Amino acid sequence: MTGTSTGASRPDEGRAPDETAASGSGGSTPPAGSPEEARASAGPTGNRLTVLSGPSGVGKSTVVAELRRAHPQVWLSVSVTTRKPRPGETHGVEYFFADDEEFDRLVASGGLLEWAEFAGNRYGTPRAPVLEKLAAGIPTLLEIDLQGARQVRATMPEALLVFLAPPSWEELEKRLRGRGTEPEDVIARRLAAGRIEMAAEREFDLTLVNTSVQEVCRRLIALLAGAPEASSPGRSTS
């Protein structure tokens, strides 16, 4: 159930190519040629866990896919889920698939760094691969929901929690409805959860506002590389 692999979003984020990107805490974007910019261009290093979270439809999976395309050295944890595989999904690639009994064993044994339930299915982050990558100094990223982020905060307070926010609530609702792939009751459930997640933004170390996927990725890479803005909580517009 544990192991390393390329990963997928969680839980079941929709992928819209134009959903995205950036505003970070700590003031303005680092100028070209600055130490922060040099660290970002050199690529991420280090052993601090970075967590990316935000409401459904904000574009997390789009950002993560672009970040890993441009910086394949970033390791994205693969979640374990009790959800049934969908056509084209491979065990250990998109998810590790488990039945309820196996998931229960992972929870009881402390094998999960965090876990949460969504739409009747459970999702969790295998603990061992994350700790192994961090110990090896490999930049490690978790894309998880609010429940999971809170659990990581409690068990790994040194982790950097990044909140990905939409430009506005109206834009988030437009993106969710624009997918055209989910019934109204599922959309309503996602929107209700989104309001709770948006209200919890202040629990995170900093916020990136999603207006450009490339800019969000650039800021994330700078943070993974140890840019000073990571220590300045809050939100600012780039």
Q: Are strands 160-165 and 206-209 parallel, antiparallel or unpaired?
A: parallel
Q: Which residues have C-beta within 8 Å of that of residue 90, sequence separation ≥ 6? A: none
pLDDT at 226: 75
Domains, the chain, with CATH or none = 35-231 (3.40.50.300)
Q: CA 72 → CA 17, 153, 192, distances in Å?
A: 19, 26, 34
Residue 130 annotated as lining a ligand binding site: no
Residue 234 annotated as lining a ligand binding site: no
pLDDT digits over 53-93, tens only? 999 999 998 999 999 999 999 999 999 999 999 888 999 98
Residue 137 annotated as lining a ligand binding site: no
Residue 226 annotated as lining a ligand binding site: no
Residue 56 annotated as lining a ligand binding site: yes
Residue 57 annotated as lining a ligand binding site: yes
pLDDT digits over 1-27, tens only? 444 333 444 554 433 333 333 444 333
